[in-house]
Structure 1
Amino acid sequence: MTDVTEEFSSYAAARQKALLRTAFLLTGDYHAAEDLVQIALARTYLAWNKIRDKGALDAFVRRTMINEHSSWWRRAWRRLEHTTDTLPERPDPPPTLDQSERDEVWELVCTLPPRQRAAVVLRYYEGLSELETAAALDCSVGTVKSQTSRALATLRGRLGPPPASTSTVAEEGAR
């Protein structure tokens, strides 16, 4: 082992518990804390020869953990998932369309004007947020909202009225 690797290994072994405690306080999740410490130590290893004051290693690693943790929250996938102690109740599955119905909907989507079609595809097929869609289309969020709204209104009009549910039929019969 080289001298740098030995120094780094000694530092990492000695400070790992303290760094893990700090990372847990930042993340609130033990597994995310382990990931955060691993990333911070990997970056510290890569910068080891550039760090002049070895007495400030803890400060360097903590700053790296804070920066990395902040960038996690900027990423879209972090907003979509989080761990919990209990499983949420499962919602009713969305109604499924058979292949011919999916083909019919896609054909209708293809008849939309290009901007409306792009907004619908990015928002609903790709699952992007309004902000991400606006960035992809190089327009404002308001434009994405209006294009999507117009597209959905057009699609609803072309699909026709939704089938009446049994509760709607019962309510009309009670009138």
Structure 2
Amino acid sequence: MSDDTDADYLAYVHGRMAALRRWAYLLSGDTHQADDLVQETLTTVYSRWHRVSRADNIDGYVHRILVRTFLNERRRGWWKVRLFGETAPDRQSDAADVEDRQLLRAALARITPNQQAVLVLRFLCDQSVADTAQVLGVSEGTVKSQTKHALTAMRRILGDRMPSLTLEVSR
């Protein structure tokens, strides 16, 4: 790449890094995995920057790469070995808040990766049905049905604890 192209890429990355890390964290629930997802996404973006930079919606293009990277990781994750249990939370908060977030994260981990991605994009990243469909590369109807099935699964998993939870994770 030319120096100008590299400068454009670096400017984009510096401007969007925090948002990408937030999306990755909301998808994965783990700060280290989120960093890995962002790194892999940005590597892919760099290798395709000549196409990405010409896109009408660069953020949408990059978000789609991020979500696809997450889904691919979930599909092939059976061979991964976790060296550590849970990571320490990034911020201090009251015990009830931490417990609710851990309960929500555990429930999200029990639904399919596609359903998890739909709920995270719709409720945690505040994306519209159309935007979620574009990022996932599916129809709006698929997003709506996946949302319905995912919420049904979450209600089944969480039972009466569901009403006290909000689909909100502060980071």
Same fold (TM over 0.5): no
Larger CA Rg, structure 1 vs 2? 1
Name the structure, 1 or 2, with higher relative contact order (CA <8 Å, separation 6+). 2
